[in-house]
């Protein structure tokens, strides 16, 4: 593993375990077995390291979500594809997903929250566009795309959080259950 990849890996491990603010540059470089000038050479600063980590690690989810969220006339099939994209990504990138969830709920002006803000806004936008497109076939959805996107993503993130803490398995049954609950409510 080259120095750049090693630094990214060690930073992810530390930040996913303890949070961005609790880990200093010195701890990252000691964990990676490199010097501060090496970290600064690659990333410029701790925040530069954070931005690079998020850019690289979020690309897979962004690409998978872009494909999965394309509405093609069947809302249930599309929502199942979206849930699978998130679940697949979370299973393969557990520490990153935990970190990005923590950053999303961090204080508004914190570096972690600011760094993840644009990536999460992109996820919301993809889901909003999905629900706007589906409203053409489901008129009762018109004008509710933001609420649906937030609710759907919140549900997905809750199931992923349960998985990350050992309380759920991100399998096909949970994909079906999540979409069914979302589409039909808790009484169905």
> What confidence tier does 113 reach under pLDDT thresholds 50, 70, 90?
very high
> What confidence tier does 1 reach under pLDDT thresholds 50, 70, 90?
confident
Measured CA distances, 57 to 41, 50, 61, 99, 133 (Å): 20, 11, 8, 11, 28
Report the 3 state secondary structure along 69-81.
CCCCCCHHHHHHH
User: How many Å apart are CA 15 and CA 22, to the nearest integer?
Assistant: 8
The pTM score is 0.94
pLDDT of residue 186: 61
pLDDT of residue 111: 95
Q: What is the CATH number of domain 3-55?
A: 1.10.10.60
Asked if CATH classification 1.10.357 holds for the domain at 58-187, the reply, yes or no, is yes
Fold match between 3-55 and 58-187?
no
Give 43-83 pLDDT, tens digit per residue: 999 999 999 999 999 999 999 999 999 999 999 999 999 99
* Domain ranges (residues) in the chain: 3-55, 58-187
Residue 141 has pLDDT above 90, yes or no: no
Residue 188 has pLDDT above 60, yes or no: no
Q: What percent of the chain is modeled with pLDDT above 70?
A: 98
Total Cβ atoms within 10 A of residue 105: 10
User: How many Å apart are CA 65 and CA 81, to the nearest integer?
Assistant: 9
DSSP 176: H
Helix 46-68 to helix 36-43 angle, to the nearest 10 degrees? 40
Give 157-177 pLDDT, tens digit per residue: 999 999 999 999 999 999 999
User: How many Å apart are CA 87 and CA 173, to the nearest integer?
Assistant: 12
The average pLDDT across 132-139 equals 91
What is the full DSSP assignment across 46-60?
HHHHHHHHHHHHHHH
pLDDT of residue 180: 95
Nearest to 7 by CA among 26, 100, 18: 26
Q: Which two three-digit tokens encode residue 117?
A: 């803000």
Q: What percent of the chain is modeled with pLDDT above 90?
A: 93
Q: By the 8 A CB rule, do 53 and 8 touch?
A: yes
User: How many Å apart are CA 25 and CA 40, to the nearest integer?
Assistant: 10
User: How many Å apart are CA 101 and CA 161, to the nearest integer?
Assistant: 8
State the average pLDDT for the chain.
95
């Amino acid at each position: 593993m080259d120095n750049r990849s090693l630094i990214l890996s060690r930073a992810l491990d530390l930040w996913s375990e303890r949070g961005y603010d609790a880990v200093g540059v010195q701890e990252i470089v000691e964990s990676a077995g490199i010097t501060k000038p090496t970290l600064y050479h690659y990333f410029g600063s701790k925040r530069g390291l954070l931005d690079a980590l998020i850019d690289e690690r979020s690309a897979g989810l962004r690409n998978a979500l872009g494909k999965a969220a394309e509405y093609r006339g069947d809302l249930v099939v599309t929502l199942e594809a979206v849930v699978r994209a998130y679940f697949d990504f979370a299973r393969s990138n557990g520490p990153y997903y935990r970190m990005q969830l923590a950053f999303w709920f961090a204080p508004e002006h914190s570096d972690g929250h600011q760094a993840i803000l644009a990536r999460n806004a992109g996820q919301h936008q993809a889901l909003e566009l999905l629900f706007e497109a589906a409203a053409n076939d489901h008129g009762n959805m018109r004008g509710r795309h933001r609420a649906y996107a937030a609710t759907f993503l919140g549900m997905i993130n809750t199931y992923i959080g349960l998985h990350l803490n050992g309380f759920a398995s991100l399998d096909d049954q949970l994909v079906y259950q999540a979409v069914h609950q979302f589409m039909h409510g808790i009484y169905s």
